Structure 1
């Protein structure tokens, strides 16, 4: 989990990550993210980066979709070293919230020039664009940059934190899932391979294999793990009061922290809980998280019946800050069942809280959990082994304690300062490289190519075009290509959205039918 790990073929020099690059102070950074707030791991990671950059004097303008949830509002402080503060705005763009996860939106078409104008101004384009988990917003930004001549392109750094294709494979039925996975993979591969994209940060070897498989140039790829706030997430947050409330008879407390959604592995967790109960383990399962879609949340809750009705499974809803830290630390064992995590920040937060982890060996957690030391990694579909290890840790207090100490020690090695400094150094190096390229004779020659073409190609004279006409036609051609590309992306998102709307209606109808059935049975029993 070292923060300064690097791909051997990286063209950039290594730096002392304990220091922030002074060259980045005053630079204009346009940061586009698909969600911005303290609810999910990706958003919390982005918030910490924005705050870190601003604290050290960089100008960071944030562009994100409008909030559709009351829990997702947060504005990091402006840089104390920069003035005026309005050069560090937070711009919200319009989009349609996904029914399954309203924290994410399908952003409606927006032009890069509009984003530049609303952030740093028409006469001061950004020095660098940073895309956090690019999807509908990030795709649009990258697509438009492809249409620009080389001398006008702004360098891009991406942080690949969300496996959209993996979500599609789980959420959609075949054959729609095949189409969705192919479409997302094709769009990502096409956009990431362009020269304007200088670096793609990835959080785990699982993600690297995926990107290499999509023909993304390996010298662009750079590992970037996540850090954890070891002061917030700490064993001292353990609450005996909460433990007595949850487990008054001394039951083992298993904790899960996750957004309540089908793709998060709750079907597997429900089977594991029922199997542990069948084997006679005295436990409580404390699940922290929720979903703005009540029908989706209800569907997951019902997976745990009858254990939920018996009080053996407790859904706590959303928790943030100290309440979330207390929930982690008050558990005995953390269960992680999702196989779609590119990193798995909740795993690291649990370890920092001194709680050992049992996780399915897929995705990001495979790089975090050290099997047999601070937790256990179980083959993704091996339910029997998962249950056996959970019972082993639940029944062996000494093993649980030793693994908890090892988990805390491992988490303390992942500091946010070094990780965010690594991003800052890459930004500084990328900006410097871009400035050198734009001042080179080759690029200057390219910038005059339009004039040379007018002199060399007779068709210009034959068409009797003036400069205004040529610029107008060129603009229309670029706009046509841009709208064609946006059409493909928007079509993919529309198919996704309509399918989710259909599923939401189905879940709603199913929930109403179940309520009616329960009412009918109750009336018969009475």
Structure 2
């Protein structure tokens, strides 16, 4: 199959959109498909053996936003794909969906970023409500151009349907259970890292991901003063300094490890005892799956994507984010019970072992085929 993937985010920027696109590309390569990638500049010239065409972009909060220039339509017309896959469309992706419609090419849009909530959060209260409403109007207009919109969780699917987005289906995310696995705990590098982070054998409670306002890391301040607990943040982003200052002022014993990739990221997960997430606007939550694959119990808000990923009291704990003491109570419960942590971690690992990217890419190809079949039937 000939597939054009247009993505709002790509390497060298690391986030959930980039990760999912890269894993899908690797699986499409292994399946012998012909793919071209269109992404914001800067970007590598190729990935997984496929050409990457970068288009002009502008920086917004340290993030390159691709511009929907005429180059996108030219590239699509030249490649003449069977289907256009648009990852997290908003600006560049909106232009790509419009171009696909004009060229008569079937398209699949993958909803992954709750942009309306993000925009609302970054604006003053009254203006934020208006921005959220306007953003949903734009999201609906964009996704109406797609033959099919795929949502990563039941919560995201329900939200899309509530806002009038047509032709939606569920498509989750895979996890690399080979790279992320409990065996890393016996690795010499992991053990050395743990000795540094927990010299008094503290319980290490960690977050992995982008350090940005929408991740709501201020909630971690509620863990200050928990005996025998140390908090570790893995990642980077525009609010790194602000988060460090706020959590430090709250008296939280926190360590910032910065951005890590590959084996170093796997070691960082494996050095932890409990994985914690704080954001309430997640459409999925890829790091929750990676933590589970590593054998960690996961503590996350009972809202959005985590509702599908955490089996409460079996693979981790879901807490009420509007209750100021709920996160502290959940972490304290696990910090004081090593046996429960291990049992939940084992259950979490078993739950995600079958969610390989190869399996999920097979499902994605099924959605491509369905879109192509629908177009053929109409013709």
TM-score, structure 2 as length reference: 0.93
1:327 CA drift (Å)? 0.7
Q: Secondary structure at the match of 2:54?
A: strand
Q: Which residue of the partner structure matches residue 61 of structure 1? A: 36
Report how far residue 256 of structure 1 moved. 0.5
Deviation at 1:48, TM superposition (A): 1.0
- The residue number in structure 2 matching 1:344 is 285
1:140 pairs, out of 77, 95, 107, with 95
Partner of 1:523 in structure 2? Answer: none
1:367 aligned onto 2:308: yes
2:3 corresponds to which residue?
Answer: 29
Provide the rounded CA distance (Å) in 2 between the counterparts of 1:339 and 1:75.
34
2:248 to 305, 312, 315: 305
Counterpart of 2:205 in structure 1 is 254
Partner residue of 2:235? 289
| Aligned partners of 1:37 and 1:74 also within 8 Å | no
Structure 2: distance between partners of 1:265 and 1:204: 20
Match of 1:130 in 2: 85
Residue 196 of structure 2 corresponds to: 245
Greater percentage in strand:
2
Q: C-alpha separation between the residues in 1 aligned to 2:178 and 2:212? A: 29
Relative contact order: is structure 1 or structure 2 higher (C-alpha 8 Å, sep ≥ 6)? 1
Match of 1:226 among 160, 173, 176: 173
- In the alignment, which residue of structure 1 is the partner of 2:75? 115
Q: Does 1:404 align with 2:345?
A: yes
How far off is 1:37 after superposition?
2.5
2:41 aligned with 1:90, yes or no?
A: no
In structure 2, what is the Cα distance between the partners aligned to 1:384 and 1:297? Answer: 24
Instruction: Give 1:240 deviation, angstroms.
Output: 1.9
Q: CA deviation at 1:74?
A: 8.2
Name the larger-Rg structure. 1
* Superposition pairs of residues 77-476 of structure 1, within 5 angstroms: 77-78=48-49, 88-99=50-61, 101-102=62-63, 104-110=64-70, 112-117=72-77, 120=79, 125-146=80-101, 148=102, 152-194=103-145, 197-217=146-166, 220-238=167-185, 239-269=190-220, 271-274=221-224, 277=225, 280-291=226-237, 293=238, 296-306=239-249, 312-438=253-379
Query: Is the contact between residue 28 and residue 128 of structure 1 (CA under 8 Å) also seen in structure 2?
Result: yes
Aligned-residue Cα RMSD (Å) equals: 1.9
- Structure 1 residue runs of 5 or longer lacking an equivalent are 1-26, 79-87, 439-526
| Contact preservation (8 Å) 1:307, 1:313 | no
Q: Give 1:414 deviation, angstroms.
A: 1.4
Q: Deviations over 1:158-209 (max 9, x none)?
A: 1101110111122221222122211221112123234xx2211101121112
> CA shift at 1:223, angstroms?
0.9
Q: Deviations over 1:228-271 (max 9, x none)?
A: 111100111122211110010111100100211111011112x2
Which residue does the alignment assign to 1:472? none
**Cα gap change, 1:108 to 1:200, in 2 (>3 Å):** closer
SS at the partner of 1:64? strand
- The answer on whether the counterparts of 2:182 and 2:270 sit within 8 Å (CA) in structure 1 is yes
CA gap 1:385/1:345 in 2 versus in 1, 3 angstroms: same
What are the ranges of 5 or more consecutive residues in structure 2 without an aligned counterpart?
Answer: none
Q: Secondary structure at the match of 1:175?
A: helix
The SS at the match of 1:244 is helix
Tell me, in whole angstroms, the C-alpha distance in 2 between the residues paired with 1:28 and 1:413: 27
Once residues 282 and 74 of structure 1 are traced to their aligned partners in structure 2, the CA distance between those partners, rounded to angstroms, is 48
Q: Identify the residue that residue 516 of structure 1 maps to in structure 2.
A: none
More helix, by proportion: 1
User: Does the 8 Å CA contact 1:98/1:106 hold for their aligned counterparts?
Assistant: no
Q: CA shift at 1:145, angstroms?
A: 4.5
Question: Do the aligned partners of residues 242 and 112 (structure 1) sit closer, same or farther apart at CA in structure 2, a change above 3 Å counting?
Answer: closer
Q: 2:73 touches 2:99 (CA, 8 Å); kept in 1?
A: no
CA distance in 1 between counterparts of 2:41 and 2:115 reads 20
Aligned partner of 1:513 in structure 2 is none
Indicate how the Cα distance of structure 1 residues 253 and 140 shifts in structure 2: closer, same or farther if over 3 A, else same.
same
Give, in whole Å, the separation in 2 of the partners of 1:53 and 1:36: 17
Greater Cα offset, 174-183 or 251-260:
174-183
Deviations 1:91-110 (Å, cap 9, x if unpaired)?
A: 000010112x42x4152533
